[in-house]
Structure 1
Amino acid sequence: MTVTNGNDELEAQFAQWRAYVRRRPELVESDADELEDHLRDSVDTLVERGLAPDEAFLIAVKRMGGLDDLSREFAREHSERLWKQLVFTGDPGRDSTSRRDVVAMLVCAFGAAVSIKIPALFGLSYDDDGSFYAPNLALFALPWLAAFLVWRRRPGAGVIGALVALFAVGVAGANAYPVDSDSQSATLIMTHLPIALWLVVGLAYVSDDLRSARRRMDFIRFTGEWFVYLVLMGLGGGVLIAFLYGIFDAIGVEPDTVIGNWVVPCGFVAATVVAGWLVEVKQGVIENIAPVLTRLFTPLFTVALLAFLVTVGWNGRGIEIDRETLVMFDLLLAVVLGLLLYSLSARDPQAPPGPFDVLQLGLVVSALVIDALVLYTMTGRIAEYGTTPNNVAALGENIVLLVNLAWSAWLLLRFVRRRGGFASIERWQTNYLPAYAVWFWTVVLVLPPLFSFR
């Protein structure tokens, strides 16, 4: 019985290792088979020499080297693969699945494009004051992206019902409250509801394994890659629009109405679905680009934040907090958190701590100090001038960020000093995602009535 349990645990380790290998864009199925054969031979040899199976597995993995080195070796040997990943063809055994994915994506993208035009049937246009489309824009796009992910994951009826209910709550939060378009409550709903709904998309993404921390980290990676694809598609769409203006102007036709009322809104909401499909089925290119971007911008942001803190200490002036400055600092902290999350999701968990991890620790500590300074200034202003929906929302967001950054800094410090493992950092980040969801939904649903919708 003990031998059987040991074999089961060893096979589970092989399965986990293989799943991680297959996430590397440079390694195809045959490469994973080859590497697994080598690994199994090495484990068998070590077991024959008297080692326990789990100990043999760890030693064999270490002897094979890091996956980064293996990936670079395969990339050099098969350099043509990067270009093949751009071609819309798949393995022969997966062609039917790929075709179904394309059909599902097209249906959802078309549904998003149609749904954003339905309000026009009731007299609502983009030329109005924006009081309808501004808070509802995410509701025309993200439910369709969630529908595509649900189609791929095939969760149970309970999860689907929860998703429908959460999007229905989003509809109510965007439209049921009696808020003026220029009120603070309207601004909070417009800015916080899309993030709250994106976390609902995250529930759809992990719906095939709700308890898995690895799947939640995959959603963090999905978010970064989806954003990169969306930006690239936006740049391409901008070029297309410029050409449309040029060629129609050449024949004396004004395309402003068609482009403004059809091409831009329909293209944007459809692109959110297409970008999600690209991440799901064509990951290779962006998986190569996005980690490079984090490696580039992490040191740049670290130097910038350290320079800011040195300047604050040198001239002795506090941070002057107004609405624009507060938004800027919140965005800065969000970017820092995004760099941390995406670099963690792209990192080899088996790799030892290195200089880049020390750099990340510096970035997180700098952001933590800045967040504490902002919170100190904000609490002073609230005590002096009273509370408003904006400053309460900002205070809560900075507290949520402060907790995350503080514990992340502690876990990174332990990891850099080899006192803790990388897995604890991943678990903390993925387990903390519901805290963001709770706060963003609180801002959308609770703060407006709490402040009498002003």
Structure 2
Amino acid sequence: MTGGVEEQIDQWRGFVRRRQVIAASDVEEMEDHLREQIADLEAGGLDGEEAFLVAVKRMGNLDAVSREFAREHSHRLWKQLVLVPEADAGGAGRWRELGVMIGFALAAGVAVKLLFSLVDDETALIRNLAFVVLPFLAGWFAWKRRVSWRVCAVTAAVAAVPLLAVDLYPFATTGGAYPSPGMTDVLAFTHAPILLWLLVGVLHAGGHWRSHERRMDYVRFTGEFVMYLVLIQLGSMVLLGLTAAVLSLVGVDFEPFLEDWLLPFGLPGVLLVAAWLVEAKKSVVENIAPVLTRVFTPLALVMLVADLVVLLVNGPLTTVDRELLILMDAVLVLVLFLLLYSISARDPLAPPGVFDWLQLALVGAALAVNAVALTAMLTRIAEFGSTANKTAALGLNLVLLVHLVWSAWLLAGFVRGRRPFAQVERWQTAYLPVYAAWTAVVVLLFPPVFGFA
């Protein structure tokens, strides 16, 4: 089969997987049947794309297929809420996966414990923490996806470049008795984890980083991962608070144990557990995802309008507070993340509706805020000169501007019925490498360009 047909099958597979009542084994069986149909049709004289379309048509409407599976396998809907399925549902494999995840989590905890023991400088700890923890998450994905050693080696080699940069660059410090890291140092160790997270996505995709469907799966995973992470952290805070309160009443100091053992092992453990839960509970969380996006999208729109009013009534743009501009960038990144997650959770074959118009309004408001923030940044740079921090903020806003402008154009065409939603979705995944390139520029090039200050 040609590469175009394989890409279409990849998109079809991703669409089928979104039906929570269809298990992974059933998806594989359906794909085998689809490929057999395509092969038979190609043998009959049809080209690859024609054979694919005819074969999909013969497979029947996927919503009807989902309903049929729901009737025949209704037990799956409630079994998905069980932590580990029974043995006849592939539970042995799930237990094995859980055991491997725990092994990676413990190994990551040992690595963090060694980092805390060997490094006394707080700044150096912050610089290297992501480089110590995320490789174990990447390793778990590599094991789970059966990624080739070649892809793993190349990914590790690429990740080693920012690691060497943040540790070997001669960053300057500011202050006297209590020195603090310089701005390029701060920019490097805050952007490096973002670059590492995008590299982890290569292994999450099983090495198929060029696949738009795999990239969108990683976007979806990231959103669900954040939800689980927040829930686990909130629960952990309550448990730790209660434990510390009880121990304090009997005269036991809980803080040494917390700092020496719980934090080194708990931090990476939470990350691995959250990732495992996302992988184990995909269908359950995907039911929640559309609801969350519909709740937070209108709230984000109101927030953006309020932020825009604040920027416009705050006086001349040269007087806009620097911290306010940084917060506006954080808001825009949050809105972008919400947009990506909303698109990843949407049924691409559904017709445009009210929520799509709401998303278009959200992107329009984000563009307005971005334009005002850009104007303020350019005005401040023209009056006070350029610094590493200002240039990084300006560059981020320009990257966001391109992303939002084309997203708005594609969304406008979709809601007006002039283009398919697949184009909107494909643009989001096609633009992700731009963010990777920008973070690499900030980590690797900004320090020497601005004299490591």
TM-score for both structures, normalised by structure 2: 0.85
Q: Does the 8 Å contact 2:21/2:69 carry over to 1?
A: no
Q: Which amino acid letter does the alignment assign opposite residue 377 of structure 1?
A: A
**1:350-401 alpha-carbon deviations (Å, 9 max, x no partner):** 1111111111000001101111111111011111111111111111111100
Q: Which amino acid letter does the alignment assign opposite residue 186 of structure 1?
A: D
- Alignment correspondent of 2:37: none
- Alignment correspondent of 2:159: 167
**1:90-113 alpha-carbon deviations (Å, 9 max, x no partner):** 562633432331222112111110
Single out whichever of 178-187 and 384-393 deviates more from structure 2: 178-187
Q: Distance between the aligned counterparts of 1:359 and 1:444, measured in 2?
A: 36
SS at match of 1:116: helix
2:150 is the counterpart of 1:158: yes
2:139 is the counterpart of 1:147: yes
Q: Which amino acid letter does the alignment assign opposite residue 143 of structure 2?
A: W
Match of 1:100 among 96, 100, 103: 96
- Cα displacement (A) at 1:65: 7.8
Q: Distance between the aligned counterparts of 2:320 and 2:268, measured in 1?
A: 35
- Alignment correspondent of 1:262: 261
For the aligned residue pairs, the C-alpha RMSD in angstroms reads 3.5
Single out whichever of 148-157 and 313-322 deviates more from structure 2: 313-322
- Alignment correspondent of 2:18: 23
Q: Which amino acid letter does the alignment assign opposite residue 362 of structure 2?
A: L
Equivalent residues in 2 for 1:373-392, closer than 5 Å: 373-392=372-391
Q: Distance between the aligned counterparts of 1:165 and 1:11, measured in 2?
A: 29
Q: Which amino acid letter does the alignment assign opposite residue 218 of structure 1?
A: D
State the aligned residue count: 433
Q: Which amino acid letter does the alignment assign opposite residue 126 of structure 2?
A: A
Q: Does the 8 Å contact 1:139/1:170 carry over to 2?
A: no
Change (3 A) 1:161 1:250: same
Single out whichever of 433-442 and 321-330 deviates more from structure 2: 321-330
- Cα displacement (A) at 1:22: 2.7
Change (3 A) 1:430 1:254: same
Equivalent residues in 2 for 1:42-191, closer than 5 Å: 64=61, 74=70, 78=74, 81-82=77-78, 84-90=80-86, 92=88, 94-122=90-118, 124-125=119-120, 130-179=122-171, 180=173, 181-191=180-190
Q: Distance between the aligned counterparts of 1:35 and 1:115, measured in 2?
A: 43
Equivalent residues in 2 for 1:428-439, closer than 5 Å: 428-439=427-438
Q: Distance between the aligned counterparts of 2:151 and 2:10, measured in 1?
A: 27
Q: Does the 8 Å contact 1:24/1:71 carry over to 2?
A: no
Q: Which amino acid letter does the alignment assign opposite residue 148 of structure 2?
A: G
Equivalent residues in 2 for 1:27-46, closer than 5 Å: 27-28=22-23
Q: Does the 8 Å contact 2:318/2:379 carry over to 1?
A: no
SS at match of 1:263: helix
Unaligned runs of 5+ in 2: 35-49, 174-179
- Cα displacement (A) at 1:266: 2.0
Change (3 A) 1:253 1:444: same
- Cα displacement (A) at 1:159: 1.2
- Cα displacement (A) at 1:54: 7.0
Q: Does the 8 Å contact 1:141/1:270 carry over to 2?
A: no
Q: Which amino acid letter does the alignment assign opposite residue 173 of structure 1?
A: A
Unaligned runs of 5+ in 1: 40-51
- Cα displacement (A) at 1:161: 1.4
